[in-house]
Amino acid sequence: MEKLMRKFFLFLSNNKFFTRLAKKYGLRCGAGRFVAGETIEDAAAAIKKLNEKGLVVTLDHLGEFVDNEEEARERTEECIKAIKVIGEQQLDSQLSLKMTSMGLDISDELVMENMRKILEAGKKHNVFITIDMEDYARCGKTLDIFKQLKKEYDGLGTVLQSYLYRTVDDIQELNVYKPNLRLVKGAYKESPEVAYPNKADVDENLKKIIKIHLLNGNYTAVASHDDHMIEYTKELVKEHNIPNDQFEFQMLYGIRAEKQEELVKEGYKMRVYVPYGNDWYGYFMRRLAERPANVAFILKGIFKK
């Protein structure tokens, strides 16, 4: 049943009709739990509250699969605006972005132009930028652009997904750049030809790439809500005397808030992935696909009097 629900929500995440409806009617149906509002002002207020609890943040203006130049430039300006707000309000936050929002599917020239504008703003305001990883079809191109931009900008990281067969090779190839990487399981619907279909294999591969990246001496963001993965990381760094300033834990906004605060109290850096914006539908559906138990929470919220 859980696999069927996962496939169902992943199918919905790519449905353009429902995406348009979601933009029109706003953050309803429980999405407000996972999304910090529609504006940068909403997001900044949420970040301040998290910072007060000792949590750090990476901020994401939601949106993906942009297919026209005008919208890609608008998304770029929104990212630059967010960077300025982070800098001016002295928020403890980085920025995450999807390159399909910046024109990845339109032209190489456009996405590179927009990315350089964002990275220049990040450099000016001392805000680190992470390129989110998207589906397998865009993985190779995303990493190629990351490598090119990493030669020009220090404050840049990206994401690798443990459900892809190629990831171990990718992490070894990227080692020459000494990259800051967020390591995740992955949340897109992929063919078994390119991705592990079984959760156990995905989990084992995540442990493998966490170990490789940490032992390579690189900064590692372990992005998981899984207690077993968190404990594995704690034991690994203890066994190999890896300092706490070489890694951090990351979790999504609205999920396991108590655990997030607990990790801070234990002395670990805990970064919360905070999304905002009106193009929230695809992100929200993938959160439901990752953890179908969230559906019960949302239904309770809808029908609660």
For the entire predicted model, the pTM comes to 0.86
Helix ranges, 224-268 (H)? 227-239, 257-265
- 90 in a structural domain: yes
pLDDT in tens, the chain (305 residues): 445 544 544 444 454 544 454 444 444 554 567 889 889 999 999 999 999 999 999 999 987 678 899 999 999 999 999 999 999 999 999 999 999 999 999 999 999 999 999 999 999 999 999 999 999 999 999 999 999 999 999 999 999 999 999 999 999 999 999 999 999 999 788 999 999 999 999 999 999 999 999 999 999 999 999 999 999 999 999 999 999 999 999 998 988 999 999 999 999 999 999 999 876 666 666 655 555 555 544 444 333 43
Give the domain range for residue 208: 35-279
- 94 in a structural domain: yes
Annotated catalytic residue 182: yes
- 164 in a structural domain: yes
Q: Which position among 6, 182, 271, 287 bears the catalytic label?
A: 182
- 10 in a structural domain: no
Q: What is the CATH number of the domain that holds 43?
A: 3.20.20.220
5-21 as b/e, with b when 16 or more CB fall inside 10 Å? ebeebbebbbeeeebee
- 4 in a structural domain: no
Give 273's strand partners. Answer: 58, 252
DSSP 191-235: -TTTB--SHHHHHHHHHHHHHHHHHTT--EEEE---HHHHHHHHH
Q: For residue 31, give every residue at least 6 positions away whose Cβ sits within 8 Å of its Cβ, in sequence order, or none.
A: 22, 280, 281, 284
Tokens 């990845």, residue located: 104
| Number of domains observed in the structure of the chain | 1
- 215 in a structural domain: yes
User: Which is nearest to 123 in space by CA: 158, 84, 97?
Assistant: 84
Q: Which position among 60, 75, 105, 132 bears the catalytic label?
A: 132
